[in-house]
Amino acid sequence: MTAARLSAAAANNRRPSAIDETHLARMTLGDRRLEREVLEIFVRQTAIMLDRIVDAEPALAAAAAHTLKGSARGIGAWRVARAAELLEQAATADGGQGDVDEAIEELKAASLDASAAIGARLTEPLAEPARDR
């Protein structure tokens, strides 16, 4: 394997998860049932906010992106939070529709990645509580 391929493979292995599990556990106090509930709400909210953002006026797109940014930060979906922040900035700047469209596409991709990670996490069974012996 060439040095470039080794470097690329190492970078892929270090790619952060779509959801910061340590942050999520801290925010839900380690309660897996609460975690599941929060993740389910986030997935629904993401779909609602993305529907509002697509073809919206800049002010509405910025407001929806702001809401999504806060929710993403709450569960440790850092890529979604960054993408929402970029959209919020693009929608309130004088850049142009091209910047907004690009930011929307990144937000969609980040949201899809997070939703897939959440879906996989939600299919994991809850641990059985320890029984006193």
What is the pTM assigned to this prediction?
0.81
- Round to whole Å and give the CA distance between 81 and 63: 13
Interval 76-85: pLDDT, tens: 999 999 999 9
Question: Which CATH number covers residue 104?
Answer: 1.20.120.160
Cα gap 99→93, rounded to integer Å:
9
Domain assignment present for residue 48? The answer is yes
**Torsion angle, alpha carbons of 63, 65, 70, 74, to 10:** 150
pLDDT at 7: 47
Q: How sure is the predictor about 133, in pLDDT bands with cuts at 50, 70 and 90?
A: very low
- Whether 87 maps to a domain, the answer reads yes
What percent of the chain is predicted at pLDDT more than 70?
Answer: 82
Q: Count up the domains in the chain and report the number.
A: 1
DSSP 67-116: HHHHHHHHHT-HHHHHHHHHHHHHHHSSS-HHHHHHHHHHHHHHHHHHHH
Query: Domain for residue 55, yes or no?
Result: yes
Domain that holds residue 65: 17-121
Residue 49 counted as domain residue: yes
- Whether 39 maps to a domain, the answer reads yes
Report pLDDT digits (tens) over 86-131: 999 999 987 788 899 999 999 999 999 999 999 999 998 876 555 5
